Structure 1
Amino acid sequence: MSAIHWSAAKVPLRQLLAEPQFGLFSDLDGTLAPIAATPEAAALTPTNRQHLQALAAELPLVALISGRRAASLQAKVGLPGLVYVGNHGLEQWLDGNVVGLPQAASYRAALQQAHSEIQALLPPGAVVEDKDLTLSIHYRQTPDPRAFLLSWGVQLRAIAQQHGLEMFTGKMVLEVRPPVAVDKGVALQALAAEHQLRAALFLGDDISDLSALQAVRTLRAQGVHAWGVGVRSADAPAELLDEADYLADGVADVEALLAFILAARQAAGA
């Protein structure tokens, strides 16, 4: 079916939220926090912070699943009671420590070698971010981001492949990751099983969130009442919006959606 705006689906959303074992999953950047010039400049909106804090007290599970490092994600949000999953599912913040997947950790040396080679090649405006288990090549600040991708994308991918790594695209970013079969969707399904969820909602805005939306469909086929929300923006990937069940119009609209979720949950008394 074609995705509709979430406000046109309040009845099914209320049914979803009435399920006691309901979990909320979300990306951070571009979903709960506006996209910024640099990862360091991004900030969770005060309204979304308030909503997340309240929802953490209401729901069995509120989980943030991000491409950021788990420690960076936790530091940016800093709310107790949330689950923080970083590096696209490769690591999680647990009891003040970052726990990474061993199979990903074995690629640290390859990532460092790729980092050095990529850093030496990048033109002005492009920056490579070392995220321990992955690398992010940010090119939003280059003079012509589209030209950068066309000119450098193939060469950077070749470097990644030479070191046994994989490359993925995002909003003005290239992600270099270990060839480990883990992504946001795998992380979402694992958390849903761990917390024995009977209902779930995921919010995301970028191509890396596609796997989570697909995981939502898998859960639904397994009998879990699960839906996915795609967050629209000028550069939102069409594939993401096509896969979503519902749509939200940017971060401000996500604030309204979280307010609805909180009010509906409290009204249901689940």
Structure 2
Amino acid sequence: MKEREAVTITGLVLFLALFWLGFLFHQSPRFAGSLWGGVFGVSGATLMLVPLAYLIIKRVKTLKQAVTRFVSMRTLLAWHIYAGVVGPIFVLFHTGHKFESPLGIALTSMTIIVVLSGFTGRYLLGRISQELKEKRTMLDGLNSSYQETLQRLRTCCADKTAQLKPFDGFFSRLLAGAFFSVQEQESETMSIGLRAIRLSDAIADLEYAIRTHDTIKHVFTWWLRIHITLSMVLYALLALHVWAAIHFGLRWFS
């Protein structure tokens, strides 16, 4: 997420995470069935369908090709993110902080869980992807410097490079100063050689960090599946809630 978007969404998610606690101080048993309660309920439910539409468009190739002629996937993703947060906020307004029925409690709980899981996954996955990109760029630069250093070492100091081989480990590098005089360490041969060793060490550390980030990113593929599953449960509860409201009578305009 871009910085401004991240700040806005973070603020909305924090508001959502705290707003539901309002039932400790305020309850309006009749608000959900009032006109404004109905407006918030219908608006929130409609906005909550936007992420579902995004999911369908993203996975149906022909539909995706048709829609992206007019709207980019980046724009659709932004709509998905904002609607996926603002919609649940409207739904919480709709409740009037009245959490009594099992269905209402389950729907409210699942709404908050889905929003938090989506926000957490989206934010962390974005951060991981950005860090991976930066680390791979750094790795390319280090590899380039390492190859240049090796070439210089082979060209001007081929007869002395063997002296450095025993000191290519972490602990052995710490002892290198005890085996080489100051003059040797300051010579061109040793200077280039030690630079090569330090570069190789930095490359190894960076490659390990990249593998770790790749592993975390792979784990987050399971997060996406879980998030989608939770979303489907949420939509099922939402449909059941709408059916119950219609079946037992609407009081929104009474």
TM-score (norm 2): 0.22
- The answer to which structure has the higher strand fraction is 1
Larger radius of gyration: 2
Which one has more relative contact order, counting CA pairs under 8 Å at least 6 apart? 2
TM-score (norm 1): 0.21
- The answer to which structure has the higher helix fraction is 2
